[in-house]
Structure 1
Amino acid sequence: MTAVFVLDARGFVLTGSGPEDLVDRVVALEAMATGRAVCTERTTYLPVAGGLLAVGGRRAPRPDGLAPFVPLAELLLASAAEPARLARDLHDSVVQTLYGISLGAGTAAELLHGNPAHAEASLAWIKETAAAGLTDLRGIILRLRPETLVGAGLATALKGLFETLRNAPGNNAAPADGAAPGSDTGWGLQLDADPSVSPQVEEALYRIALEALANAARHAEASQVTVRLAGDDAHVVLEVIDDGVGFAPDGPHPGRLGVRSMRERATLLGGTLDIRSAPGMGTVVRAALPIG
């Protein structure tokens, strides 16, 4: 009797039929890491898009004999990933956009009487952000790129995002009463010329920066935040550094859903995301992605 299993990217059985003792997660992860079929005495593991196909029985079949099962395995993996992807996109896009609008409204209210010209600019930004948020929500449905990046490029989009969060009321970077927004703060921006990257990498880096900056503004109580973007012929590197309260990356903390989302975005594109932080020690978020 032949047993067929579909495994996710972590080596866990997603669905299948047959005795599960035919599946060895250690061997499955080896096949995932190498990208090549691995055979044991009774089971063959074949990497497919989004996970693994494992087929076993009294004897492990030849890898080329698994071809008839591959399309169904890929379809099952894609269907299983969709709810998680949608949840991540909703968190990254809609929630962050609404948060940005609330910050902009607070800034406009504070400036309305003392500095009407700046208040008018904040209100214009709220209108633009609301429109962009609506477009972004449509983009989730249609799998489009974020409206913020269209025609602007990554460096320009990051600069706008940075300025918005730096000038927001309620964080330690906000200027004192009577000072111009963004003046005399410890927030710094270091951007190389726009690196030439694929649309997927551009979007992932924007989303990672959005999450990291939002966490710095909401949770970190940071007085100094630095964003760096650099690239070469092979990789582009984004760093968001703050001097805030810090956290234990592996423990419970307010931004844990966002941290998981950042890791998933980097990993899905063959990159890495490193977070260095500890209570009272600030936080460094570093994403390195291939440019292709």
Structure 2
Amino acid sequence: MSTFDENSTVPRDEGLALICEAGHGVASHEELFKNLTTAVNAVLCGDGTFLHLLSADYGTLKRFGPIPEATEWSDEMPTGIGRLRWLFEAKEPIIMDYTRPHIKDRIPKFALEHGYLSAISIPIVADGSTFGICSTRYKRAITWERDDVSYLKICGRVLGSLVSSAMTENKHISLALLEERKRLSSEIHDNVSHLVGSLSLCSASILASYEEGDMDFVERGLEKMEALCGKTIRVFRDEMLSLRVPLDRTDEWTESIIPILSNFESEWGIKTTLEQDIANEPLSLNVITSMHLSRILRECLSNVVRHAQASRVVVSLHEDDSNLLMTVTDDGCGFDVDAASPARFGIKIMHERADAIGGKLTIVSSEDGTVVRVYVPRIGKW
């Protein structure tokens, strides 16, 4: 029996399950990596575990996880240090005895000063690619048998699967944000261009009236232009506020939309109410769902200003085990949904946003007002 087995309090199968569990249901990469280092340290009975993951240029390894002592490579470490090049090529763990180091090992000066006697570095591998290393230090000598090394490699593959999934998700988010930029440019154009066009027509009309000497019309035109300028400024301000909605995972998404509703009410004088019926507070949304719901809400409010002639807006959030439902209701004049849907770009974009998060958007409108509902199915977590 190895020294590792003698000291371990976690059976090996349970250890792998513990590492897997550490990678599920986390809100960010930082939390994921923190959970993984904690789990691996417990499973391998270490005195400190951290990750070094490959940077974008593959030239350095960026550290994740606690290293209380200041070291030469605390934050970033070259991939060619010591036996790391061999680790990446062979995809085999490196076992280090700090008292009798390998000729290529570069033992940090602080190691022996703080009582560390040994360490292991496990390649983090998925689909034949190495994403980095997981290192665990010990303040005791560890004897690693052949089956121990096999177990370490399995741990590395489990870590690789979790890290690879996180990086793939990050790439999807980056692509989604690029697509979001295209949508935003279209929406801002849709929301603002008609106001700018009105200003242009108004100024042309004022200029023509001035040339004809109709000063009464000029005065009325300038008053209209002043009102249009004020409205344009408020619309731009609303757009800028909506862009400040955090594009990261949050456990309190509703906190990010409260300023939008408050600003909307103060700017346009339309009473706005937020109602919540949340089964599991606080409401947690991932980056994509948060982004699309926030922009759907923003488009609804913009339509209220431009078309509804409403005096009140109610935004309600309802969550149960199956769905999240966001409803935006106004008491305005309503419109013909069937006639407007093919022509109005904003409505088309709202439907696309709902589809992007696996949801469904419906609009019901009459002379008593308009109701927009967005259903988002619960698949695991939002």
Q: TM-score, normalized by length of structure 1?
A: 0.47
**Which one has the largest radius of gyration?**
2
Q: TM-score, normalized by length of structure 2?
A: 0.37
